[in-house]
Amino acid sequence: MNTLPWITLMTFLPLGGAVAIAVLGRKPSGGTRHLAFVFSLIPGLLALMLASKYEQAVLSGTGGAGAAAVMQFVERHSWIPTLGVDYHVALDGLGLSMVLLTSFVIPFAIAATRGIDKGQGAYFAMLLTIQAALYGAFTSMNFFHWFIFWELSLIPAYFLVRIWGGTDRKRAANQFFVYTMVGSITLLLAMVAVFLVSGSFDFATLATSAKEGSITRNLGSKLGWLSAFSDGKGLGVFVFCLALLGFAIKVPLFPFHTWLPLAYTQAPPSTTMVLTGVLSKLGLYGMLRILLPVFKEQAAELATPLLCLACATVVLSTLAALAQKDLKTILAYSSINHLGYCLLGIFALALAPQGAGGGMHDSAALLFNGVSLQMFNHGIIASALFCFVGFLESRPQGCPNLENSGGLRGQAPVLAGFMGVALFASLGLPGLSGFVGEFLIFKGTFGYAAWAAVLCAAGLLLSALFHLNILQKIFCGPLNASWSQFSDLTTEERITVAPAIVLLFLLGFWPQLLVALTRYFGGV
């Protein structure tokens, strides 16, 4: 299994597909989408092969929830020795779960694409480029080339919104670009400061140095910034805040969320599927892989204000969703709400003590599993909901809002049933995938910050209100006369969305399928 560079092949195959699609897909045709789907599926099959070969019992300690995972499928080659940069890729349970999510969402988005009449080849080539960038980011173990893939994912996302978006696409793309570039700059500055102190970009080396306290201790003396701070501790908090901003914008965390609703509503639905399904997970993944391991001390010190921001993200986004009438805008704020639960879990995890053997304390492992499940499940649920939005927009009547529709359950029963499952999964109904991750996050948070869990519980209630409001206003009641010719899902559309619906049930009843991968993580 280790004789071939499987991770490298998986990462760069979509780039080869992107080049082929850009050359072959210049003329609009259904075949372009089908070819792009095949190119996205091949590295996904490699990801499934890696998952089948992943050894869950390979631990650095004696086992149990507190043991740390050993990286697998490691590829490491010297790249830029003068900077201490290696080409270093590997997988543990967290990275593998995100690779699998990418392998599902990108082909799902390509299969669900409708209404792209111009530049099909370029459109699908950019989606494949994002797939390669995500694989690279989720497998990189060195900040230098992790940051390259991080930036690579932003460039095609900008053009997907800017070229193929709605009437206000220019403003949406510009906001997205400015916000994410500011975050990238502050993140880069923070990690350069850490490099100047530690002499390394390697994630494992940085985590070890952080546990020993050498990064915080040496920041002031090696950077010469002590005149601006009382001690190295204060400087460590400042550098932590710079890094946090980069990830907070990406997720996003309140109040850095204002770019998201416009970008999600103006982007083509298949692009929004990718933005919310996997690109938003880059910020959460970065917090788990980089921010907490390197800045655990600073995160614990600022845990209370960070938890307050997480609570604001959860509650205020649901209030904003309740005030909307446009379906896409409601779902955009719903995405912020569900990502807020992940932020709640991550900031509560900052308060957790270190477990034996370098891993996590048992209760912290429970919290980590909840965040991992919520990240994966939200990716499936949110991409499915925006897939339905795309199907609705492809109808002559367009996408309904909460004021001009009603009674579509009788007119389109399959659509009502499938979309109803996704909405119930989104509101956290037991038996569907959305419930398990939220339950574990709240259970784990109660152990470290019960007040934050209680405040965020209001978000659960408000979330149920706007999800049920969607079902009532669009699918129930008398049929609006203007929707009398509305057509139900076609056979192709049913086949496209069926795998997501199956996963919503499968992970709701069998979450261990994913927990078995993510339960061991040595980074926090």
- The confidence band for 227, taking pLDDT boundaries of 50, 70 and 90, is low
Residue 432 CA to residue 423 CA, distance in Å, equals 10
CA neighbor of 385 nearest in space, from 327, 464, 428: 327
| pLDDT score at 518 | 76
The secondary element (H helix, E strand) that includes residue 76 is strand 72-80
More confident residue, 492 or 215: 492
Q: Which of 14-23, 298-307, 349-358 has the lowest mean pLDDT?
A: 349-358
- Is residue 35 within 8 Å of 120, Cβ to Cβ? no
| pLDDT score at 245 | 93
- Average pLDDT score over the chain: 86
| pLDDT score at 28 | 55
Which residues, including other chains, have CB under 8 Å from residue 227's CB and lie 6 or more apart? none
pTM of the entire structure? 0.91
Give the distance from CA 144 to its chain's centroid: 21
| pLDDT score at 360 | 55
More confident residue, 403 or 301: 301
Amino acid identity of residue 345, one-letter, is G
Strands 72-80 and 85-91: antiparallel
- Check pLDDT > 60 for residue 222: yes
Query: 38-97: per-residue pLDDT in tens?
Result: 999 999 999 999 998 888 755 544 444 444 567 889 889 888 888 778 899 999 889 999
Helices (H), 165-277: 169-198, 203-212, 214-223, 232-250, 259-266, 269-274
- The confidence band for 357, taking pLDDT boundaries of 50, 70 and 90, is very low
More confident residue, 482 or 448: 448
- The confidence band for 224, taking pLDDT boundaries of 50, 70 and 90, is low
| pLDDT score at 2 | 54
Angle at 189 between CA 82 and CA 76, to 5 degrees: 40
| pLDDT score at 225 | 56
Query: 143-177: per-residue pLDDT in tens?
Result: 998 999 999 999 999 999 999 988 889 999 999 99
- The confidence band for 133, taking pLDDT boundaries of 50, 70 and 90, is very high
| pLDDT score at 126 | 94
- The confidence band for 196, taking pLDDT boundaries of 50, 70 and 90, is confident
- Check pLDDT > 90 for residue 208: no
Structure tokens at 398: 């367009």
Amino acid identity of residue 360, one-letter, is M
User: What average pLDDT does range 375-396 have in this prediction?
Assistant: 92
User: What average pLDDT does range 242-258 have in this prediction?
Assistant: 91
- The confidence band for 523, taking pLDDT boundaries of 50, 70 and 90, is low
| pLDDT score at 496 | 94
